[in-house]
């Protein structure tokens, strides 16, 4: 018998567990029972798909018992069991420990239900145990093995004896102390309560021995106490109960217990579908973004069941990526039990269900947007990015499905609005949907270009997520109204008359502007006077398809490729600086060149772009200020 140490990371989690920062110790039972149920699932599944495995569905059970004198609780299952190697591997390491990561990131936040959120499984038993023994025999093997650990020093595994396949987990309760009464678990009613609360929908019977007060045999009035097996859990999957039977609270509880969320879901929706495909789905929209949602290890997908038997825990094929926030399950008699991850990709039934689910989810979101705008806005704050990616990805294949679910910040309403709302409220004579991009709404609001739109009472959508403009470009138009970046050189709200005036102004000052353009030839395509600005002296606009914002986004990506938007320096024709430039053109052309550089730098700063040559510019400014 060899003594093994826990892997380093496991040690830290164990430590966390033992000196529990988590106050709800009751969940250890849920974790152990849920493992037992998984182990039975595995054997059940094998029996349905492998002829050599002969077990009867009706024999499956999980038994919970305790011994008051020995201070032990035992949880037994007749599931698949573990071999020696599996005991060593499965109970010796805590894989990819999400909770540790989470703990590190949130060290300073208090009262976080860390463990409750993740379900760290087996190890949670050390919250209440001073010692744990796992006696297991893998189905179809002869030998049983006993794994023992007191949680601190490591564990041992030795050969042992066990009649039947499956696993017995024995928990030796800690002694009571001032902080906690561990003996409370040595009570039928306490255990029963915990099982009902957290494991009610486990699909196999969870059995406990209970005292029954019954008439003595042959007697008419004499009673006796007899121990009898009783199934504690309801067993019927919650999605198989008739809808009128299940309360919102029950769904919420199912959700929080199954997905380890500390908050109830924003939305629960269940569908029973018959037709091209037949299935029941129970889906949830979380109230908040899971902590690792945008991380690369986040596993998308809902669980797939075939007539109550779980076929796959996370089936990504069922839910499109842009609805990746959906949690829940699908149960369909049409899905073959033998399905593997590989065939799943091509499975016709699964594709049909996926298509149908997508429509249902979309409808649910539309209803949410209509009936409870506040809730929808909250939802969009959490998951809107996902939807915008959905518009952009796959060459815009899904844009029409998603466009009405989008919200953008409206400069006029100072809140999030849909594209439909924007178009329905167009100002007189407005033909386009205008948008502006920047880092924050406040910063966009201060952009020089925005001023003239405000003047005209045109609404402008403010875009601050980096994906925004890419998604908008993919959409191109909404209800025939083209999306237009107000920073585009071509955008001009002036009248024909105004346009003529500015054209003349540019023609008249062509030589002067050419000198400025020459100095800035490495940076801008053009330098010109504009009538777009009211109080501001300059702005930077872009020609063609690539905006300055897009340049920033693309260049921030970790590739070697660097691109440049084709920009134009526009100078307010009515600003005093315009006259100053004209004067310099007559008197001091060198000085004019310096002004060109400074004005261009100003325009870049306003756009939130860095200067290539900050020292040169700052020296120039000082030189000009000192005059």
Span near ligand ADP by CB under 6 A; candidates 120-128, 310-318, 480-488, 494-502: 120-128
Residue of 79, 92, 438, 537 that binds ligand ADP (CB under 6 A): 79
Contact 51, 339 (CB under 8 A): no
Per-residue binding string, ligand ADP, 466-495, x by CB under 6 A, is ------------------------------
Span near ligand ADP by CB under 6 A; candidates 31-39, 296-304, 330-338, 476-484: 31-39
- Residue number, 63 or 398, with CB nearest to ligand ADP: 63
H helix intervals, 56-159:
84-92, 98-105, 114-118
Nearest-approach distance from CB 118 to ligand ADP, in angstroms: 9
- Residue number, 92 or 328, with CB nearest to ligand ADP: 92
Task: Quote the CA–CA distance of 540 and 605 in Å, as a whole number.
Answer: 10
- Residue number, 57 or 355, with CB nearest to ligand ADP: 57
- Residue number, 79 or 320, with CB nearest to ligand ADP: 79
- Residue number, 122 or 523, with CB nearest to ligand ADP: 122
Span near ligand ADP by CB under 6 A; candidates 77-85, 222-230, 401-409, 533-541: 77-85
Q: Are strands 129-137 and 144-149 parallel, antiparallel or unpaired?
A: antiparallel
Using CB under 6 A as the binding rule, whether residue 122 contacts ligand ADP is answered as yes
- Residue number, 123 or 376, with CB nearest to ligand ADP: 123
Residue of 20, 35, 382, 567 that binds ligand ADP (CB under 6 A): 35
Span near ligand ADP by CB under 6 A; candidates 65-73, 116-124, 173-181, 458-466: 116-124
Span near ligand ADP by CB under 6 A; candidates 35-43, 106-114, 311-319, 435-443: 35-43
Task: Quote the CA–CA distance of 570 and 532 in Å, as a whole number.
Answer: 9
Task: Quote the CA–CA distance of 17 and 48 in Å, as a whole number.
Answer: 38
Q: Tokens 């305790």 appear where?
A: 66
Spatial neighbors of 485 by CB under 8 A, at least 6 apart, are: 434, 435, 436, 437, 469, 491, 542, 547
Span near ligand ADP by CB under 6 A; candidates 76-84, 503-511, 524-532, 591-599: 76-84
Using CB under 6 A as the binding rule, whether residue 39 contacts ligand ADP is answered as yes
Question: What is the number of residues in the chain?
Answer: 627
Task: Quote the CA–CA distance of 79 and 59 in Å, as a whole number.
Answer: 10
Using CB under 6 A as the binding rule, whether residue 77 contacts ligand ADP is answered as yes
Nearest-approach distance from CB 97 to ligand ADP, in angstroms: 10
Q: What is the CA radius of gyration of the chain?
A: 34
Q: Please, what is the angle between helix 496-508 and helix 510-519, to 10°?
A: 70
Using CB under 6 A as the binding rule, whether residue 116 contacts ligand ADP is answered as no
DSSP-based three-state secondary structure for 563: coil
The two tokens of residue 112 are 């976080």
Nearest-approach distance from CB 34 to ligand ADP, in angstroms: 7
The two tokens of residue 214 are 């019954």
Contact 33, 41 (CB under 8 A): no
Task: Quote the CA–CA distance of 274 and 280 in Å, as a whole number.
Answer: 9
The two tokens of residue 75 are 């949880």
DSSP E strand boundaries for 216-278: 223-231, 267-273
Using CB under 6 A as the binding rule, whether residue 121 contacts ligand ADP is answered as yes
Residue of 97, 167, 530, 542 that binds ligand ADP (CB under 6 A): 167
Span near ligand ADP by CB under 6 A; candidates 80-88, 353-361, 399-407, 512-520: 80-88
Task: Quote the CA–CA distance of 188 and 191 in Å, as a whole number.
Answer: 5
Q: Under rule CB under 6 A, how many of the chain's residues touch ligand ADP?
A: 15
Residue of 17, 27, 36, 520 that binds ligand ADP (CB under 6 A): 36
By Cβ distance, which residue is nearest to ligand ADP? 121
Q: Tokens 């299940």 appear where?
A: 246
Contact 138, 174 (CB under 8 A): no
H helix intervals, 232-372:
248-259, 341-344, 348-371
Using CB under 6 A as the binding rule, whether residue 90 contacts ligand ADP is answered as yes
Nearest-approach distance from CB 487 to ligand ADP, in angstroms: 50
Can you give the binding site for ligand ADP, defined by CB under 6 A? 31, 35-36, 39, 77, 79-82, 90-91, 121-123, 167
């Amino acid at each position: 018998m060899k003594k093994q140490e826990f892997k380093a990371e496991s040690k830290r989690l164990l430590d966390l567990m033992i000196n529990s920062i988590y106050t709800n110790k009751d969940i250890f039972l849920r974790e152990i029972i849920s493992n037992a149920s998984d182990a039975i699932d595995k054997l059940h599944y094998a029996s349905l798909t492998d002829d050599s495995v002969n077990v009867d569905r009706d024999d499956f059970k999980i038994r919970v018992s305790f011994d008051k004198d020995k201070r032990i609780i035992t949880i037994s299952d007749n599931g698949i069991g573990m071999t020696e190697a599996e005991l060593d591997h499965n109970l010796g390491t805590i894989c990819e420990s999400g909770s540790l990561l989470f703990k590190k990131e949130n060290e300073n936040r208090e009262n976080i239900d860390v463990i409750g959120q993740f379900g760290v499984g087996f190890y949670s038993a050390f919250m209440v145990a001073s010692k744990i023994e796992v006696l297991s025999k893998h189905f179809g093997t002869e030998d049983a093995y006993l794994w023992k650990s007191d949680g601190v020093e490591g564990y041992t595994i030795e050969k042992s004896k066990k009649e039947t396949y499956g696993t017995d987990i024995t928990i030796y309760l800690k002694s009571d102390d001032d902080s906690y009464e561990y003996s409370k678990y040595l009570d039928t009613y306490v255990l029963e309560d915990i099982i009902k609360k957290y494991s009610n929908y486990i699909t196999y019977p969870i059995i406990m021995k209970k005292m029954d007060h019954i008439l003595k045999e042959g007697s008419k009035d004499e009673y006796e106490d007899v121990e009898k097996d009783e199934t504690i859990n309801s067993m019927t999957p919650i999605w198989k109960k008739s809808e009128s039977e299940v309360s919102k609270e029950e769904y919420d509880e199912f959700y929080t217990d199954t997905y380890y969320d500390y908050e109830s879901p924003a939305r629960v929706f269940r569908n029973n579908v018959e037709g091209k495909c037949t299935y029941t789905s129970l889906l949830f929209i979380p109230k908040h973004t899971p902590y690792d949602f945008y991380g690369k290890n986040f596993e998308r997908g809902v669980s797939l069941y075939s007539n109550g038997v779980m076929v796959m825990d996370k089936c990504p094929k069922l839910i499109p990526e842009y609805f990746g926030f959906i949690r829940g399950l699908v149960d369909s008699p049409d899905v073959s039990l033998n399905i593997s991850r590989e065939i799943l990709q091509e499975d016709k039934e699964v594709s049909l269900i996926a298509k149908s689910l997508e429509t249902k989810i979309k409808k649910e979101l539309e209803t949410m947007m209509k009936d409870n705008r506040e809730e929808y806005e909250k939802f969009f704050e959490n998951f809107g990015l996902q939807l915008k990616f959905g518009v952009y990805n796959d060459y815009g294949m899904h844009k029409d499905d998603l466009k009405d679910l989008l919200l953008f910040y409206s400069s006029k309403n100072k809140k999030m609005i849909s594209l439909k709302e924007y178009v329905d409220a167009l100002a007189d004579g407005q033909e386009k949907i205008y948008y502006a991009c920047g880092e924050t709404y406040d910063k966009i609001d201060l952009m020089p270009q925005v001023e003239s739109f405000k003047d005209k009472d045109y609404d402008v959508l403010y875009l601050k997520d980096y994906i925004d403009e890419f998604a908008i470009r993919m959409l191109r138009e909404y209800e025939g109204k083209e999306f237009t970046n107000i920073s585009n050189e071509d955008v001009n709200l002036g009248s024909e008359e105004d346009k003529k005036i500015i054209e003349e102004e540019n023609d008249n000052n062509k030589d002067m502007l050419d000198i400025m353009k020459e100095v800035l030839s490495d940076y801008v395509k053009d330098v010109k006077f504009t009538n777009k600005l009211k109080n501001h002296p300059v702005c930077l606009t872009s020609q063609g398809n690539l905006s300055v914002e897009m340049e920033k986004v693309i260049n921030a990506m970790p590739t070697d490729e660097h691109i440049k938007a084709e920009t134009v320096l526009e100078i307010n024709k009515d600003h005093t600086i315009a006259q100053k430039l004209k004067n310099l053109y007559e008197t001091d052309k060198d000085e004019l060149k310096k002004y060109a550089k400074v004005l261009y730098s100003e325009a870049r700063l306003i756009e939130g772009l860095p200067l290539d040559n900050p020292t040169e510019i700052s020296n120039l400014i000082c030189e000009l200020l000192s005059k």
